Amino acid sequence: MTTKFTISSFITVFALAFGLSFSVFAQDTRTDNHQIIVEVPTVALLDLETSGTKNITASFIQPTLLEAGQKIAAPALNNTLWLNYSSIQEGTTTKRVDVKVNEVVSGVDINLVAGASATGAGTKGTPTAGFILTAADQTLVGGIGSAYTLTGSGNGHQLTYTFAAEDANYAALRSGSTTVTVTYTLADN
């Protein structure tokens, strides 16, 4: 009796083992695959760089030799600042750099122009023709896609500030010192 049971058990175990091993081999094919999930973050970073200080002193000066009837002279232009950014887009929306001031100086025009970026890679933005700074945002660089300009002075978009006391605004000039904060914002279009 034990022999029948043992032989039956042996046949059953052998059949199961053979069937399982056959089914495992039957699942293999000439190809196989797996998935890799690639995650890229959305990036929007902006910085102003210079080899010196970010703050600018723009002093109008009286001409020499002082003579009644002369106009004050405008400060020299300043092109020591560089606009750096890193951008990785979500979808097809591009970014832009907007600029505004917290306060307009009566009688004084502060003009800003950005040069093209010759450093970095990607879809770097295109500078506008420049403008007189106002308290409302104005686009300085548009069409920024996924790009980077490199970091530091000498990289990205060189910024040039010029200052003027135009004849049409001369009556609005007032003596004194005014601190103007210029704000740059990397924004979605």
Cα→Cα distances 102→16, 93, 110, Å: 82, 28, 13
* Contact in structure between 168 and 132 (CB atoms under 8 Å): no
pLDDT at position 3 = 54
Tens of pLDDT along 32-63? 999 999 999 999 999 999 999 999 999 999 98
Query: Beta-carbon neighbour count of residue 96 at 10 Å?
Result: 19
Q: Is the pLDDT of residue 101 over 70?
A: yes
- The strands making up 138-144's β-sheet, listed across from edge to edge, are 126-127, 138-144, 95-101, 182-188
Look-up of token digits 């890229």: 40
pLDDT at position 88 = 97
DSSP string, 100-150: EES-PPTT-EEEEEEPPP-SSEES--EE-S-EE--SS-EEEEEEE-SEE--
Q: Respond yes or no on whether the N-terminal peptide bond of residue 65 is cis (omega within 30° of 0).
A: yes
pLDDT at position 142 = 98
Domain residue spans in the chain? 43-188
**Both tokens assigned to 152:** 């530091």
Which segment of 5-9, 36-40, 102-106, 131-135 scores lowest on mean pLDDT? Answer: 5-9
pLDDT at position 80 = 97
pLDDT at position 72 = 94
